[in-house]
Chains A and B, each alone.
Chain A
Amino acid sequence: MFRNLGVAGLLVAALAGVHPAYAADPVKIGFVTTLSTPAGYIGEDERDGFTLAITQGSGKLGGVPVALVVEDDGLKPANAKQSADRMVQSGIRLYTGVNFSNVLAAVVPSVVDAEHFYVSLNPGPSNFAGANCNRNYFVASYQNDAFHTAGGVAANQLGYKRVVLLAPNYQAGRDALAGFKRTYKGQVLAEIYTKLDQSDFSVELARIRSLAPDAVYQFHPGGAGINFAKQYANAGLSKTIPVVVPGFSMDSRMLAATGAASEGFYTTGIWSVAMDNEASQQFVEAFKKAYGRIPTDYAMQAYDTARWIGSGLKAVNGDLTKADAFRAAMRKAEFTSLRGKFRLNTNQHPIQDLYLMRIERSAGGELAPKVVRKIVSDDKDAYADQCKMPS
């Protein structure tokens, strides 16, 4: 439906005070993301989170001047691949930005086949975590199953014996429910697959009411998730049957659009705006000040990605032709992650803690996900064993 509108948004970070030693050009970072379509707010937050890290370093990451080359993929894998191919030809050696797994699948081969680096700031599809892992591909966020397996653990811990599962009828939806079922020990009363573009859930809500489960686990990102939450509350179900969702099915933008309807939802994830560590609090304040809105998980992941890349660039002083040295530095992951602990598994995906959050009103009356407790420590994905990582 949507064409790639803004053909090439070129954003060069301001280079405040170029040091004579860095008279060479700044290191260009290819940033292909989704800025148009309804999902455009996600790419916007990712771009802004990444840019914030650059701005805070006065145009530098890890002391090395960088320039961000942003292009919109319009949520189309073919567009993204074209952009990436063009950037590879223009000599860019370091990439990030892509938000969707299907787009990532088109971009990563273009980059790693040219022996350049890709650092994912959001998607972590299973194939790249397992058999198709690559020494030049890093993931700063999570493997795609993580939030869902954590959802299963959360449902166990909360004592839900009978649940109803809902997800859209496409690959990521089916993966989500499979992930949940891998760790969930109770009884699944029904797996309801909704239409991919469905906006009204009255039928499914009636079925949930008649099944009367202990809880509902549902995965509906973006507009569909907003619709679900509003209608769930409108049907009066939110008072009787609790809902557990992966964090990206109720991000801060969705929360703003649903208001009280999502109060009491449990979410799983790696981070929350209310996370109690200094670096994270400073980031939230700085982001609010710079952009006038609350950062989403996507913004936080992009910020972490930028800081991580900075640690790698610092080790090679911005010279990406020293690929082995850059890779070694990236594997050490010596940066302060906003989520607290962060280290890499053999497949270059994170080993990290997962949290249970609950949407609650803060003292100021604002709704925000509040951390209930850590539910999984040092979570590793199930695919690392299939990865034969070359040095």
Chain B
Amino acid sequence: MMLLFEQLLNGLQFGAMLFMLASGLTLIFGIMGVVNLTHGSFYMVGAYCATFAIARTGSFLAGMVAALVGAALYGLVVEFLVIRRLYRRDHLYQVLATFGLILFTNEAVSMLFGRTPPLAVTPAALDGAVTLLPGFEYPVLRLAFIGVGALVALGLWLLVNGTRVGMLVRAGADDREMVDALGVDIRNLYTLVFGLGALLCGLAGVMAAPLLAVEIGMGERVLITTFVCIVIGGVGSVRGALAGAILVGMVDSLGRAYLPQLLGGLFTPTVADPLAAGLASASIYLVMAAVLIVRPLGLFPMKA
């Protein structure tokens, strides 16, 4: 029972991490119509900036600021120099250009910071574990991850539903041309959305740095899973990204946790263990396929 509870928290924590990446990606894809493969690179840039700043100053807060500023700035530069020229182009051009940017970013980061993954120290306040229930401890860092994810969800909900910018974002996701025709400078909106997406990646990067290896190519590893989240949730919808991220986080975690036991009852261990691992890897894609059969536009599609 306690184990199930812990695995649910693990799923929630993975979901929170995916949500920080997916929310930006879904806005960029839904509103700007841009397939942005560079999204994972912003996450890597955030993690590197954070690690660098923490190593220099010893303060996690400084790392947080560096990650947010670094990732957002890099996002704005990318938007200004590359993405801006591709809005009217076909998706294929966007995929090619942003894929090129992945290679460029990886090489640039390895030239700047070297190939050795740097050490990111866990801040003292987030180190160790807390007792949630008698006899059940959970790492503070992972709880903080869930907390930050919830704050981001709340913040985005307020932004999208309660502000003028949010109104334009929603309108842009529904009908870009109409918003443009009504006299709104859609370019500024695009830049803003892109910067916001990169900023959220930076946040995910700084949170992940103490838990994960900060290394070249760390972004590509989560990119595909992030795309799965937004496809399940419905492209362009923050609510969908949240649902998709939590669903993917839960399915992935619970699959890894319980498939070995389930299959272990049916087959011998030599068959069951690799088979369970294989099925756990495929589980999120099976869920995506199932969702798309029932709701081809995802769970919460923006466009009616």
Which residue from chain A places its CB closest to the CB of B256 in the assembled complex? Answer: A203
Which residue from chain A places its CB closest to the CB of B5 in the assembled complex? Answer: A206
* Interface residue A226 (Cβ < 8 Å from any Cβ of B): yes
Q: Is the CB of B277 within 8 A of A195?
A: yes
User: How many residues of A sit at the interface, in one of the four size bands?
Assistant: 35 or more
Q: Is the CB of B128 within 8 A of A236?
A: yes
Tell me the chain B residues, 10-28 only, with Cβ under 8 Å from chain A: 10, 13-14, 17
With A169-B277, A230-B210 as contacts: A202 and B14 at CB distance below 8 Å: yes
* Interface residue A278 (Cβ < 8 Å from any Cβ of B): no
Separation of A235 and B127 alpha carbons in the complex (Å): 10
Question: B216's contact among A38, A196, A234, by CB below 8 Å, is which?
Answer: A38
Separation of A37 and B220 alpha carbons in the complex (Å): 12
Task: Report chain A residues within 8 Å CB of B253.
Answer: 202-203
Q: Is the CB of A169 within 8 A of B278?
A: yes
Task: Report chain B residues within 8 Å CB of A203.
Answer: 7, 10, 253, 256-257
Of A23-31, A151-159, A251-259, A320-328, the one contacting chain B is: A251-259
Q: Is the CB of A199 within 8 A of B212?
A: yes
Task: Report chain B residues within 8 Å CB of A44.
Answer: 115
Q: Is the CB of A234 within 8 A of B3?
A: no
Please give the distance in Å from A116's CB to the nearest CB on chain B: 31
* Interface residue A193 (Cβ < 8 Å from any Cβ of B): yes
Tell me the chain A residues, 303-321 only, with Cβ under 8 Å from chain B: none
Q: Is the CB of A227 within 8 A of B211?
A: yes
Tell me the chain B residues, 212-230 only, with Cβ under 8 Å from chain A: 212-218, 220-222
Which residue from chain B places its CB closest to the CB of A223 in the assembled complex? Answer: B213
Of A192, A234, A259, chain B has the most CB atoms within 10 Å of the CB of: A234
Of A1-9, A100-108, A136-144, A347-355, the one contacting chain B is: A1-9
Q: Is the CB of A234 within 8 A of B211?
A: yes
Tell me the chain A residues, 74-88 only, with Cβ under 8 Å from chain B: none
Interface of A, helix, strand, loop or mixed by DSSP: helix
Tell me the chain A residues, 176-193 only, with Cβ under 8 Å from chain B: 190-193
Q: Is the CB of B281 within 8 A of A195?
A: yes
Q: Is the CB of B117 within 8 A of A226?
A: yes
Task: Report chain A residues within 8 Å CB of B39.
Answer: none
* Interface residue A41 (Cβ < 8 Å from any Cβ of B): yes
* Interface residue A380 (Cβ < 8 Å from any Cβ of B): no
Tell me the chain A residues, 233-267 only, with Cβ under 8 Å from chain B: 234-236, 253-254, 256-259
Which residue from chain A places its CB closest to the CB of B216 in the assembled complex? Answer: A38
Separation of A38 and B129 alpha carbons in the complex (Å): 31
A residues lining the B interface (CB < 8 Å): 1-3, 5, 37-38, 40-41, 44, 169, 174, 190-197, 199-200, 202-204, 206-207, 210, 222-224, 226-227, 230-231, 234-236, 253-254, 256-259, 293
The 5 closest A-B pairs by CB, nearest first: A193-B277, A226-B213, A169-B277, A202-B10, A257-B117
B residues lining the A interface (CB < 8 Å): 3, 6-7, 10, 13-14, 17, 102-103, 106-107, 110, 115-119, 121-122, 127-129, 137, 139, 141-142, 210-218, 220-222, 253, 256-257, 260, 269, 273-274, 276-278, 280-281
